[in-house]
Structure 1
């Protein structure tokens, strides 16, 4: 750290007070001090101290896309989706996009009314009260922690695949240590400020899309010239929603597909650092999901057409390739340029590591500011204007989770990613219901309000709820996933267990005096003004070294 954290607050520059005797000078950083609690409901509120006005529409969209890790997401899920539904993989991705789009509308409308970096936590608390809101915030946090472990694992493996004959990628201690280094590096970049993070993401996202474009163009060329080993004509049945023969497999595929879209909401968590925060993040969220739909369906169709659905060789239904389809396809498609695809997977995992830390740290910052977490989580660095303590805690917890899961079993780590869909469906669904309830008195004011604040968010939430419940039932089976824990599917134990852990932590925290204003509904309720800045230049140093 190049400087201590500061407490956020806000007053016009003209009203700054002179320093008291013995107090630090106005521009001298002070020792760590906790963020203040929110103002009383209905009174003007102070900002959290984040760097307002940093991101525009392009930057927000880049963050939203990078958070989904397009290349890594396809690597991690395409094979499993094909294994679940076969040739209906493209329509599975399209069907999974529908609730994502509907929930994106909910995010957009809620952000317009309540532009707060706490996103789901803040909105659900305003709609349904503190305890449901706390669990929504926990859902966001636990999803981030789980995916960081898996992202770092991929980053470590692909780093050593490029060295020598690639055998070092099977060295578990080496790969684990490399993954830890990547989490630490991305945590540091996130700590250093949003502008640095945006510049890094522009480069990393560009590398991913150049690699995907190269893969698609070369694959199509080889299909057209007859050089594809298992060329398969595109069929209408690939896009036919009535062609599913296994309903359980369909639900499993959709839940897996939810994972590859997940992450676009990162741009909403940066709303307080965005130009025009009431409109830009929501537009970026909808734009991100649309770009992802075209990317995923397009690449899936090309891959199926090139490799076919055979259960041997490079066929997409070959179970041996399920956990990394691109690794099997890189040489047949790109030949000597296959290293480009390896690099893109590495870049995708590293990119998403950083963009996952950003929103989760800001979510815990918001929870601390309103008293839902210890005040220390609300510290903002006075120079970098980032949630410094929350950022470092996020990195440390992710490292610990990753190392522990790796020590237990690689299969347990793999089951954790399969369980991730439960946390995603949980907090996205809560957000959809919160949108409907928060705007319930406005739904009849216009057809736009009824559609975008009511009907579509409700449909999205109901779809996600069904996917959640059906998946919980399926995950109970001992043969679901890679492990069996407590006599049932390990994926169920990890997925539901992580959510129940949040409920336990909530009960424990509610016993502390510091949390009582939040759990009594005093520090955050429907009438509470959110803590957002108006203009970045209104911040100045206060006599205690914080931002006043």
Structure 2
């Protein structure tokens, strides 16, 4: 399908192949292997966090195998917004779209700050925040310049980032000791006790960070050449790639020395490598420079994701219609790219007036993004169940395996994650709910204006097999 951005305007260009979609799937997430996850060690310890990460990985596997049914049946740039709107009407579409927007708009500033931290290792005089702003300017420009160029660049840096993670594991392996990884691994204790459980639950957002945003491939569906064939391959190959890398990186980083020194920093891999090869090693300098590729891969891909979500919401009248404009030359939603960037840059400089629970700015931004993600996962799985019942004859090129048990586990696990996150991050949850509530007021006030818009093309084409 090739849907116009606004009536009579240029359409998104369908150019993405299977390998490029796999690159986007892995690239969206791969920065999570470089930073963010180690904050989970602070509360859960290495072993406790491993248990949490395995639970979350299982949730994501079940979610992706189920979510792919929706993506291939309804290949629209709005992704979860389109599925939930079709299942539950405008209100369901608003909730899924707003939650996805929070996830994808708040993830990039956390990654941009990590880019600044990595460069600060090499150039201590650089201010990480201004490096983050520079990253926004560069990669917003690249995203506006065209989806084919953006996706080709994304594939290249994703492959380099994967190679760099493998190099990291190889270089630190001589210093690896299982005793280092397990020492104090249960929230500071050497043996499991029930006292470790609260820390394991509190670490859930940082385990989710390992896989956060892989669902963003759905937002490139309108720009895929053959979404009903290529997206399932990209999703399945992507989640398998990411699970293998997450396990390897976490185990090797935690086994090279005192893991507690890595638990609250934005650059755990360079610091882990420094413990093995020293601060002057060429390997360390290589990791810092090539490690940037992993951060850039996710940063760049999530900009693509948030811009398509803004575009889709604006096209349906849920955001100002001007944000759905397509650049006449580059055929990209340029104003949507810029709008998300403005929010992200504001978040980068928000630590002077936003400070919750003594956590770092990065940890708070990660948590906010995860709240959006978990909400969207729940609504998407409920949409899957609803559409199976109300539209049994919809064309479904991919059907969720193990239905209804696999998607049921995904939604149940997501509810567990949401409840525990609310308990351990209540102030951030209040801010998150406040954002959704403010958006809902705008949604209600603009109802008449949306009703006057031309009807959108049916999502997913024919309803009949």
Bucket of the pairwise TM-score, normalised by the shorter protein: 0.7 to 0.9
Aligned residue number for residue 536 of structure 1: none
- CA shift, 1:108, in A, is 0.8
Please state if 1:296 is matched with 2:296: no
**Deviation string, structure 1 residues 6-39 (Cα, Å, up to 9, x no partner):** xx867xxxxxxxxxxxxxxxxxxxxxxx713xxx
Aligned residue number for residue 543 of structure 1: none
Q: How far apart are the structure 1 equivalents of 2:10 and 2:69? A: 22
Q: CA RMSD in A?
A: 3.2
Change in CA separation of 1:302 and 1:496 when aligned onto 2, cut-off 3 Å: same
Q: How far apart are the structure 2 equivalents of 1:57 and 1:147? A: 25
Please state if 1:437 is matched with 2:386: yes
Q: How far apart are the structure 2 equivalents of 1:375 and 1:113? A: 26
Aligned residues: 446
Aligned residue number for residue 478 of structure 1: none
Change in CA separation of 1:394 and 1:518 when aligned onto 2, cut-off 3 Å: farther
Q: Calculate the TM-score normalised by the size of structure 2.
A: 0.86
Q: How far apart are the structure 2 equivalents of 1:178 and 1:234? A: 36
Q: Calculate the TM-score normalised by the size of structure 1.
A: 0.74
Please state which structure has a larger fraction of its residues in helix.
2
Q: How far apart are the structure 2 equivalents of 1:364 and 1:375? A: 10
Moved more, 284-293 or 247-256: 247-256
Larger radius of gyration: 1
Please state if 1:60 is matched with 2:21: yes
Please state if 1:216 is matched with 2:145: no
Q: How far apart are the structure 2 equivalents of 1:518 and 1:123? A: 22
Aligned pairs (5 A) from 1:245-260: 245=194, 246-260=196-210
Contact kept in structure 2, 1:186 and 1:354, CA below 8 Å: yes
Please state if 1:269 is matched with 2:269: no
Aligned pairs (5 A) from 1:372-411: 372-405=318-351, 411=360
Change in CA separation of 1:429 and 1:243 when aligned onto 2, cut-off 3 Å: farther
Aligned residue number for residue 341 of structure 1: 287
Match of 1:142 among 102, 121, 137: 102
Please state if 1:507 is matched with 2:441: yes
Contact kept in structure 1, 2:83 and 2:380, CA below 8 Å: yes
Contact kept in structure 2, 1:123 and 1:434, CA below 8 Å: yes
Change in CA separation of 1:284 and 1:496 when aligned onto 2, cut-off 3 Å: farther
Contact kept in structure 1, 2:10 and 2:331, CA below 8 Å: no
Change in CA separation of 1:50 and 1:159 when aligned onto 2, cut-off 3 Å: same
Aligned residue number for residue 426 of structure 1: 375
**Deviation string, structure 1 residues 351-371 (Cα, Å, up to 9, x no partner):** 222111111111121122222
Aligned residue number for residue 124 of structure 1: 84
Change in CA separation of 1:320 and 1:60 when aligned onto 2, cut-off 3 Å: closer
Q: How far apart are the structure 2 equivalents of 1:56 and 1:388? A: 22
Q: How far apart are the structure 2 equivalents of 1:342 and 1:450? A: 40
Change in CA separation of 1:79 and 1:512 when aligned onto 2, cut-off 3 Å: closer
Change in CA separation of 1:249 and 1:299 when aligned onto 2, cut-off 3 Å: same
Please state if 1:326 is matched with 2:269: yes
Aligned residue number for residue 204 of structure 1: 157
- CA shift, 1:383, in A, is 1.9
Consecutive unaligned residues in structure 2, runs of 5 or more? none
- CA shift, 1:450, in A, is 7.2
Aligned pairs (5 A) from 1:491-530: 492-512=426-446, 515-517=449-451, 523=455, 529-530=458-459
**Deviation string, structure 1 residues 191-230 (Cα, Å, up to 9, x no partner):** 111111122223322332222111111222344xxxx6x8
